[in-house]
Chain A
Amino acid sequence: MKLTKLAIAAGVTGVCVAGAAHAATLDDVKARGQLRCGINTGIPGFAFTDQQGNWQGFDVALCKAVGAAIFGEPKVEYVSLTGKTRFTALASGEVDMLSRNTTWTYSRDTDLKLDFAGVNYYDGQGFIVPKALGVTSAMELDGATVCIQTGTTTELNLADFFRANDMSYEPVPIETETEAKEKFLANACDVYTTDASGLAATRSSYPNPKDYVILPEIISKEPLGPAVRHGDNDWGDIVRWTLNALIVAEEKGVTAENVKDMASAPGDDPEVNRLLGTEGEYGSMMGLDKDWAVNAIAATGNYGEIFDAYLGPDTDIGLERGLNALYTDGGILYSPPFR
Chain B
Amino acid sequence: MTVAASTETPAFRIEMLWRDERYRSGFIQAITMMILMLAVAWLVNNAVENLAALGKTFDFGFLWQPANYDINQRLIDYTSRSTNARAALVGILNTLLIAVMGCVTATVIGILAGVARLSKNWLVAKLMTLYVETFRNIPVLIWILLTAAIVNTALPAPATYRGLETGPVVVTNRGIYIPTPNFGDGSLVLLIIFALSVAAILMVRAWANRRQEATGEQTPMLWIGLGLLVVPSLIGYILLGAPITLTYPELKGFNFQGGIQLRDSLIALWVALSLYTGAFIAEIVRAGILSVSHGQSEAAYALGLRPNRAMNLVILPQALRVIVPPLISQFLNLTKNSSLAIAVGYMDATGTLGGITLNQTGREMECILLLMGFYLIVSLLISAVMNLYNERVRLVER
Contacts and interface: CB of A to CB of B under 8 A. Distances in A.
A114 B338 CA distance: 33
B228 interface: no
B345 A179 contact: yes
Contact of A189 (B42, B153, B174, B252): B174
Interface stretch (A38-46, A180-188, A324-332): A180-188
A188 B345 contact: no
A283 to B, nearest CB: 31
Interface in B362-394: 362, 364
A172 interface: yes
A113 B55 contact: yes
Nearest to A107: B362
Interface in B121-163: 145, 148-149, 152-153, 157-159
Contacts of A22: 53
B359 A151 contact: yes
Interface in B35-63: 35-36, 39-40, 42-43, 53-56
B360 A156 contact: yes
B343 interface: yes
Interface stretch (A3-11, A240-248, A290-298): A3-11
A139 interface: no
Nearest to B346: A173
Interface stretch (A26-34, A81-89, A254-262, A272-280): A81-89
A219 interface: no
Q: Size band of the B side of the interface?
A: 35 or more
Contacts of A159: 68-70, 80
Interface residues of A, number: 48
Given A112-B362, A142-B253, A190-B254, A172 B265 contact: yes
Given A6-B43, A91-B54, A163-B80, A187 B173 contact: yes
A111 B54 CA distance: 10
Interface string A86-115: 011001000000000000000000011100
Contacts of B305: none
A145 B347 CA distance: 15
B33 to A, nearest CB: 12
A4 B35 contact: yes
Interface in A272-328: none
B69 A155 contact: yes
Contact of B364 (A88, A133, A144, A182): A88
Given A170-B255, A171-B72, A173-B347, A186 B153 contact: yes
Nearest to A92: B50
Contacts of B208: none
Nearest to B174: A188
Contacts of B149: 179, 182
A220 to B, nearest CB: 13
B40 A3 contact: yes
A143 interface: yes
Given A20-B53, A84-B359, A169 B174 contact: no
Contacts of B347: 173
A145 B174 contact: yes
Given A159-B68, A169-B70, A175 B342 contact: yes
A129 to B, nearest CB: 10
Interface string A126-150: 0000001100000001111100001
A218 interface: no
A255 B158 CA distance: 52
Nearest to B38: A3
Given A20-B53, A142-B253, A179 B80 contact: no
B8 to A, nearest CB: 41
A13 to B, nearest CB: 14
B300 interface: no
Contact of B43 (A3, A91, A155): A3
B294 to A, nearest CB: 45
Nearest to A5: B39
A228 B343 CA distance: 29
B355 A171 contact: no
Contacts of B364: 88
B344 interface: yes
Contacts of B311: none
B351 interface: yes
B360 A170 contact: no
A265 interface: no
B204 interface: no
Contact of A3 (B36, B71, B174): B36
A84 B72 CA distance: 21
B16 to A, nearest CB: 26
Contacts of B40: 3
B355 A182 contact: no
A215 interface: no
A79 interface: no
A174 interface: yes
Contact of A145 (B153, B255, B355, B360): B255
B148 A179 contact: yes
Contacts of A145: 174, 254-255
A150 B355 contact: yes
Given A21-B53, A88-B364, A179 B159 contact: no
Given A144-B253, A158-B70, A171-B72, 10 more contacts: A3-B39, A84-B359, A112-B362, A159-B69, A171-B71, A174-B344, A174-B345, A179-B343, A188-B173, A190-B254
8 contacts: A144-B253, A156-B69, A159-B69, A163-B81, A173-B72, A179-B344, A188-B264, A189-B174
Interface of A: 3-4, 6-7, 20-22, 83-84, 87-88, 91, 111-113, 132-133, 141-145, 150-152, 155-156, 158-160, 162-163, 169-175, 179, 182-183, 186-190, 230
Kindly list the 10 A-B residue pairs having the minimum CB-CB distance in the complex, ordered from nearest.
A187-B157, A3-B39, A159-B80, A143-B253, A186-B152, A188-B152, A144-B254, A188-B173, A171-B70, A186-B153
